[in-house]
Chains A and B, each alone.
Chain A
Amino acid sequence: MGRGQSEKSFDVKVEEKNSVKVLKLKGYLDAYTSLQFEEMMRELVQSGNYKIIVNMKNLTYISSAGFGVFMAFVDDVRKNSGDIRFCCLSEKIDEIFELLGFKHIFKVFKDEDSAIKSFEEQEKKNVRKRKK
């Protein structure tokens, strides 16, 4: 439908780094592929993964339905002292983040390492708080 099948494909690779799940998105995240992605996210969150980094380096397109997937789980993960954070946005996707105001809702990082570090620092703060 519309674009050729090869262009429309979407793929996610999940890696775990320092107890943070890094999702590497690839291809088109539109109204259709977002259904598949939502299912994956649900499994991830339901099995107790609350610290999630979404690497958008290879994502070529994201529709509002794609953003909707993150909205659907952000409350859940934050309740469990986790978060969804983004990194490696392409210029185009950065622009969409900007327009939608997503940068007001989510933390966006330049690269994966700094995104992972942000979780580590948050963890340290929490430990200190608890000690106090």
Chain B
Amino acid sequence: MNQKNYEIEKTFSFGQILLAFALAFVLLAITLVKKIFPFPAFDFASNIIFLALFITLVLIVQPFAKKFEKNPVEGIKFIIIFLIPLVGFSFAFKNFINLQKVNDVISPSSYADVILINIHSLIYTFLVSIVFSIFLKIFFFARGKEASVKFTVSIAFFVAGELIREILEELSLISQVILILQLILFVWISFRIPWVISLSKREKYKVLLYSFLVILFLFLLQSPFATGNSSEGMRYYSTLLFSFAHFYLHPFLIIYSFFVFSSTIFHLPTAEIYERKVAELSTLQNIGKLVAQVLDIKEFSDTAVKIAMEMTGSKSAWVELKLPYADEIYGVAGIDEINLKSLREEVNSLRKNFEERNLESRYIVSNIKDSNILIAPLVSHQKISGFLYLVKQNQNFTSDEIGLALALADQIAIGVENSRLIQESIEKERLSREFELAQQMQKKLLPKVLPSSEKFEISALSVPAFEVGGDYYDFFTHDDGNLSVIIADVSGKGISAAFYMAEMKGIFQSLAKIYPSPVEFLIKVNDTIFGHIDRKFFITLVYAYFDLKKATVELARAGHLPPVFVKDGKAKFLKSSGLGVGLVKSEEFGKFIKPVKLKLDEGDLLILYSDGVIEAMNELNEEFGYKRFEKLIEKICYKSSDEIVSEIFNEVESYQKGTKQIDDITILAVKWKK
């Protein structure tokens, strides 16, 4: 509610209070006049004014009564709080008010009595309006339209009864019948009290006490012994007030309270179960929240296990998660390591039941030594991701506890799955950034300018795969114009590959200058690398040394794919012997290296390449292969080195169209001109 509305309501209720006072004064005037001229017309007038006064008072107390809209227990408590002064005032005024009986008509003895009657009745009306308003809030709580229909019927019946009583005047039999019918109506209305069921045990005891007190106080108010002259005075004040209190509100409240009392007694035994269900629900809700918030499997399992133990009254518990290589234990509670180990060994065979019986068997309870152990599988996406273990000593698991354990196991499974997915996406993000970095590094390591000479033309192309494969090529032009060419592939992918590429570049640039001859160069490279890099990394390469004056090329292969040499349109793979660099000690390594020396004539072509060319796959998972490569080269070998390189690449790329390039593709061609 916004401020403005609130203010309007305030001023409105101030106006109501003024109106109430005005009406009270009018009633006072009427009752005083009635003392002098006891005409029935005044009775009618006072009833009308009373009705207006009562409605006004009910409206005034609405904001207060609203507090009990969803709180029936507090509502009854406050009804008692207001009933106490009601009884008190009535009892007090009973002795102050003096009445006289003239011709069967009861009237106040003096004007002072009229004023006392007015004071008492006004207070009574005010308190009754509060009690009535609170009662209505309780009455309508958690009930639908049916209640308001019944309520309207009861009011209508009361009004009709009053009119009949008024017209037929003191026909006691009919008024008795009307009263009995009215009581039956109240029973019918009060039959269902939905809010009692959901109360806690403590609240139920409170309600029992309150409803009993309400009945007690109302009986006091009903009896002439307690109220006597004050209620008779009320009748003088306004017959409607008397009837409403004695024939409507009091009996209605008594009957309603009686039903509250009896249905509370009836539902008392279920209180504990209800409380527990509520606690279970809120626990599961909390776990649900936990699942969404906690990403660390360990932290999450710790909390979940503790909750599971509490809720099922277990002595000890733990969670076992199936990870790719081993099972991980989390959230161990209430058991030491030695006992845990022995228990785990005992249950090992039981767990197999889940695998064999599929997921149909949702849990296993087994008796080991003097303890009962409950095993609940953590199931997510139709797969068992682990188990929740709960152990009780000398106690059985109730079906409720088992149900709860299973619900918790499901929640844990979801939590585990969530955290796994998030870890995975973090890892993916990290990898993709790493690959990006590696690609940039690789780009920078490759030569930007190719050597040029009148003796040869040279072209090179390297297209890295997304997951950088570690292809590397480079040149070194010696002082005498001779040329060293290298193509290498370091094992591994990503950052580590890029790192070894960088190392390889340094080694090549420094060693090629000092050891231009292939065998010597390779042995020196192996010297540098073997024993200095991680044992599982190695490098395959082809090194070629072009002697421009002698028109020869000498090359050696260290585990790399055999270079292709084309002479007179005929391609040949140079499968000379040689081991990858970094695999074995240099003494051994040197034994296997067999260099190839070739005489170069015009148009001769040497092609170096990486495995991305040969291993390129088409949609049918067939490799590009050596045969296709050989044929292609023979077809295009007469073209320029630039064209040869780009046509090989285009051919390979169109071959693996539709599939993703999984490895770097590197092609390097040297064509002899003179």
* B560: contacting residue among A7, A99, A104, CB under 8 A: A99
Q: Which residues of chain B come closer than 8 Å to A45, judged between CB atoms?
A: none
Q: Which 9 pairs show the lowest CB-CB distances between chains A and B?
A: A101-B579, A64-B491, A68-B536, A72-B536, A2-B662, A31-B493, A100-B559, A2-B660, A71-B536
B535/A71 in contact, CB under 8 A: yes
Closest residue of chain B to A66, judged by CB? B491
Q: Chain B: interface residue count, which band? A: 35 or more
Q: Which residues of chain B come closer than 8 Å to A39, judged between CB atoms?
A: 325
Task: Give me 11 A-to-B residue pairs in the complex whose CB atoms sit less than 8 angstroms apart, sorted by A's number.
Answer: A2-B661, A2-B662, A3-B621, A64-B490, A67-B491, A99-B560, A99-B575, A100-B579, A101-B577, A101-B583, A104-B584
Q: Which residues of chain B come closer than 8 Å to A100, judged between CB atoms?
A: 540, 559, 579-580, 583
B491/A101 in contact, CB under 8 A: no
A6 to chain B, nearest CB (A): 11
Interface residues of B in 506-561 (CB under 8 A from A): 534-538, 540, 558-561
Distance A38 CA – B578 CA, assembled complex (angstroms): 26
Cβ-based interface call for A1 (8 A): yes
B536/A101 in contact, CB under 8 A: no
Distance A104 CA – B466 CA, assembled complex (angstroms): 33
A3/B592 in contact, CB under 8 A: no
Interface residues of B in 591-610 (CB under 8 A from A): 592
Q: Which residues of chain B come closer than 8 Å to A68, judged between CB atoms?
A: 491-492, 536-538
Q: What is the interface of chain B, defined by CB distance below 8 A to chain A?
A: 324-325, 466-467, 489-494, 534-538, 540, 558-562, 575, 577-580, 583-584, 588, 592, 617, 621, 659-662
Closest residue of chain B to A96, judged by CB? B611
A57 to chain B, nearest CB (A): 18
A31/B538 in contact, CB under 8 A: no
B659/A105 in contact, CB under 8 A: no
Cβ-based interface call for A77 (8 A): no
Cβ-based interface call for A20 (8 A): no
B564 to chain A, nearest CB (A): 14
Q: Which residues of chain A come closer than 8 Å to B536, judged between CB atoms?
A: 38, 65, 68-69, 71-72
What 1/0 mask marks residues of chain A from 87 to 106 whose CB sits below 8 Å from any chain B CB?
00000000000011110110
Cβ-based interface call for A111 (8 A): no
Q: Which residues of chain B come closer than 8 Å to A3, judged between CB atoms?
A: 617, 621, 659, 662
B493/A65 in contact, CB under 8 A: yes
Q: Which residues of chain A come closer than 8 Å to B534, judged between CB atoms?
A: 72
* A99: contacting residue among B467, B561, B660, CB under 8 A: B561
B584/A67 in contact, CB under 8 A: no
* A2: contacting residue among B324, B577, B659, CB under 8 A: B659
A2-B659, A3-B659, A104-B579 known; 17 new pairs, CB 8 Å cut-off, are A2-B660, A31-B493, A38-B536, A63-B491, A64-B490, A64-B491, A64-B538, A64-B540, A65-B491, A68-B491, A68-B538, A69-B536, A71-B536, A101-B558, A101-B578, A104-B592, A105-B584
Distance A128 CA – B617 CA, assembled complex (angstroms): 52
B561/A65 in contact, CB under 8 A: no
* B535: contacting residue among A43, A75, A102, A104, CB under 8 A: A75
What 1/0 mask marks residues of chain A from 57 to 84 whose CB sits below 8 Å from any chain B CB?
0000001110111011001000000000
Cβ-based interface call for A114 (8 A): no
What 1/0 mask marks residues of chain A from 4 to 29 whose CB sits below 8 Å from any chain B CB?
00010000000000000000000000
A1-B575 contact, Cβ under 8 Å, with A7-B621, A31-B493, A99-B559: no
B316 to chain A, nearest CB (A): 30
Q: What is the interface of chain A, defined by CB distance below 8 A to chain B?
A: 1-3, 7, 31, 36, 38-40, 43, 63-65, 67-69, 71-72, 75, 99-102, 104-105
B562/A99 in contact, CB under 8 A: yes
Q: Which residues of chain A come closer than 8 Å to B491, judged between CB atoms?
A: 63-65, 67-68
Q: Which residues of chain A come closer than 8 Å to B662, judged between CB atoms?
A: 1-3
A101/B592 in contact, CB under 8 A: yes
B352 to chain A, nearest CB (A): 19
Q: Which residues of chain A come closer than 8 Å to B578, judged between CB atoms?
A: 101
B492/A65 in contact, CB under 8 A: yes
Closest residue of chain A to B578, judged by CB? A101
A27 to chain B, nearest CB (A): 12
Q: Which residues of chain A come closer than 8 Å to B492, judged between CB atoms?
A: 31, 64-65, 68
Distance A67 CA – B494 CA, assembled complex (angstroms): 17
Q: Which residues of chain B come closer than 8 Å to A75, judged between CB atoms?
A: 535
A65 to chain B, nearest CB (A): 5
Q: Which residues of chain B come closer than 8 Å to A36, judged between CB atoms?
A: 324
A31/B467 in contact, CB under 8 A: yes
Distance A101 CA – B493 CA, assembled complex (angstroms): 21
Distance A110 CA – B423 CA, assembled complex (angstroms): 43
Q: Which residues of chain A come closer than 8 Å to B661, judged between CB atoms?
A: 2
B575 to chain A, nearest CB (A): 7
Distance A3 CA – B619 CA, assembled complex (angstroms): 9
Q: Which residues of chain A come closer than 8 Å to B575, judged between CB atoms?
A: 99
Distance A104 CA – B583 CA, assembled complex (angstroms): 10
Closest residue of chain A to B579, judged by CB? A101
Distance A67 CA – B536 CA, assembled complex (angstroms): 8
Q: Which residues of chain A come closer than 8 Å to B583, judged between CB atoms?
A: 71, 100-102, 105
B489/A64 in contact, CB under 8 A: yes
B450 to chain A, nearest CB (A): 27
Closest residue of chain A to B617, judged by CB? A3
Distance A67 CA – B611 CA, assembled complex (angstroms): 15
A103 to chain B, nearest CB (A): 10
Distance A64 CA – B541 CA, assembled complex (angstroms): 13
B275 to chain A, nearest CB (A): 50
Distance A68 CA – B538 CA, assembled complex (angstroms): 7
Distance A126 CA – B536 CA, assembled complex (angstroms): 29
A1/B577 in contact, CB under 8 A: no
Distance A67 CA – B491 CA, assembled complex (angstroms): 9
B546 to chain A, nearest CB (A): 23
Distance A63 CA – B610 CA, assembled complex (angstroms): 13
Distance A99 CA – B574 CA, assembled complex (angstroms): 11
Distance A101 CA – B325 CA, assembled complex (angstroms): 32
Closest residue of chain A to B489, judged by CB? A64
Closest residue of chain A to B660, judged by CB? A2
Distance A101 CA – B591 CA, assembled complex (angstroms): 12
Distance A17 CA – B159 CA, assembled complex (angstroms): 101
B594 to chain A, nearest CB (A): 11
Q: Which residues of chain B come closer than 8 Å to A7, judged between CB atoms?
A: 621
Q: Which residues of chain A come closer than 8 Å to B588, judged between CB atoms?
A: 104
Distance A75 CA – B536 CA, assembled complex (angstroms): 11
Q: Which residues of chain B come closer than 8 Å to A99, judged between CB atoms?
A: 559-562, 575
Distance A67 CA – B621 CA, assembled complex (angstroms): 22
Closest residue of chain A to B465, judged by CB? A2
Closest residue of chain B to A32, judged by CB? B493
Distance A64 CA – B497 CA, assembled complex (angstroms): 11
Q: Which residues of chain B come closer than 8 Å to A63, judged between CB atoms?
A: 491
A36 to chain B, nearest CB (A): 7
Q: Which residues of chain B come closer than 8 Å to A43, judged between CB atoms?
A: 325
Q: Which residues of chain B come closer than 8 Å to A101, judged between CB atoms?
A: 558-559, 577-580, 583, 592
Closest residue of chain A to B537, judged by CB? A68
Q: Which residues of chain A come closer than 8 Å to B558, judged between CB atoms?
A: 101
